[in-house]
Structure formats: structure tokens, C-alpha cells
Amino acid sequence: MAVQDGCVLICSIDGFSYLYSVNFCVRETISEPLEKRLDSFEASLRFMSDKYEDMQRKLNQLEEQNRQLNFENKSLKFHVDTLTQNVRELESEIEEQQQYSRRDCLEFKNIPELEDESTNEIVVNVAELLGVNISHDDISISHRLPPSKPWKDELGNTQPPPPPPIIAKFVRRDVKDDVFQARFALKRKTTCDLVVDYVECEHNPIYISESLTVIRKKLFRSCLKFKKEFKLHVVSTSNGRIYIKEERKRRVYIDSEADLAKLRKQISTRSFPPGNK
């Protein structure tokens, strides 16, 4: 057993030497190049430790900023949802007001346009075909609406647009209601039955409808497609509200696409009971 420089205790057993103990003076026996490498390693550790602490501090700051942003985002989302709901309510109110302003109006469709025509006279003549006696004094104002564009039929063929409809606003709602409720009397009537001076009489069927807003007209077209799809009895309006009626059933009022989707689900469930789909 031997001690070198009082620092390392070496023991020899069976011809082999073993490091037995190292005291505090080992540092002094290390070669200078290795000591420099250790110093460099310690400096690197301190640098990495400082960097880690700096990154940890920045991470904590980012987490705090993220927490604040999440809070602000939730607050903004709440305000946006509130504003969106308010806008929808305002749009609904405006839609109702616009439709209410049309409550005394009817549209007369598929009537050919004449030069220097009197739309009031045409409306009076149509009412006469219905068996409803009205005069020019019952009409507040009437005029042609802007012409529509050409359209394509189910086969994809382009069809010319129909004549521009005539819109008439009546002085009293009861007169408007009388004309609208008698519209089914036009079933076997055409424009040739009108007392107007057509150069060439065309047997155009005449249609009468309540005046609807743009939004409700779009919904009405969806209801017509729905009626055709499910072979329903009738789609019509009552004081500006659209309704669908199945044969021998009550009216179902449709005020939105959601109402139409709900009715679709109900009819589909009846058509395909459980186990028969």
C-alpha cells in the first residue's frame, strides 16, 4: 500500500493497484490542461444555467401574457356574441317592419305589359274576374316592378323572363284581403279574359300573391321546392307569413330555414318509421 504526495492512497492486491481514496488535494495534482478544461466546462455550465434562468423568466412572462390574452379573448368573444345577437334582433325587427309596410299590397303576375297602360285599370279588371267589385279609389298606388332576368328550366334550357309583375297598394286592408282570398277564382281565367286592348291575346294564367320582402321571397322559393319534394298540399302566405299545409292537416308556419329543416325531420320520421328505413 502506498501514498503518493499525501493525496492518493493506492493499495496493491495480487499484483493489481487500486485507487482507494482521494482527499482534497486531488485538485492540486491534476494537470494544468485538464484544469483549464474543467474551468471551461464550469463556465459553460454557468452560461447554460444563466440562459436557462433567462428562458424560464421569459417563459413565465409569456405564460402571464397568454393568460391575459385568453382573458381578453373570452371577454371580446362575449362582446362579439352579444353584438351578433343584437344585430340579428335588429335585422329581424327591420324585416318585420318591411314586411308590415307591405301588408296592404298585392302582386299581380304574368300579365303582359302594354304601352301607356293603366296598372290601376288592370288591377280593377283582375278583381272583376274574381267577382270582387273595387274602384280606382280603393287603390292607393300601383306600378310595374323591375323586370326579372331570363331563367333556366329543369332541363337547363334558358327561358325568357315573365312580364314584370304589377304591385298594388290598397287603401284598406279589407279590400286587399277580399281580392287575395278570391284569387282561386282565377284557376280557369287567363289574360285573354281581361278587358284590355291586347293586340295579340296570350292565354297567360294570372297569379296573385302577397308582396314579400327579398328574404321572405327566398324562403318562399325554398318552401316551394320542399312542397314538390314531399308532394305536399299547398304553400301560401297569410298576412306576409309563409305556411305549408299537408292534406287534412293544420298549417305549419315557416319563418326561417330552421323551421323548414325541423318540418323536414318530422315528415321524414313519419315517412320512414324505425325499422323501415
- CB contact at 8 A, 121 and 131: no
Task: Tell me the pTM.
Answer: 0.69
What is d(CA 197, CA 28) in angstroms, rounded to the nearest whole number?
126
Q: Phi first, then psi: give them for residue 155, nearest 5 degrees.
A: -90, 0
pLDDT along the chain (277 residues), means of 10: 47 49 49 71 80 88 91 92 92 92 95 89 94 95 91 81 94 96 91 71 88 95 93 93 90 94 88 48
Q: Phi first, then psi: give them for residue 235, nearest 5 degrees.
A: -125, 125
| Sequence-distant (≥ 6) Cβ neighbours of residue 148 within 8 angstroms | 161, 162, 164
pLDDT at site 272: 52
* Dihedral angle, C-alpha 202, 116, 161, 203, nearest 10 °: -10
- Which letter, b or e, does each residue of 32-71 get, where b requires 16 or more Cβ atoms within 10 Å of its Cβ? eeeeeeeeeeeeeeeeeeeeeeeeeeeeeeeeeeeeeeee
For the stretch 74-128, pLDDT in tens is: 999 999 999 999 999 999 899 999 999 999 999 999 998 888 889 999 999 999 9
Q: Per DSSP, which regions of the chain are E strands?
A: 2-4, 8-13, 16-22, 105-109, 139-144, 151-152, 158-159, 166-170, 207-210, 234-238, 241-245, 251-254
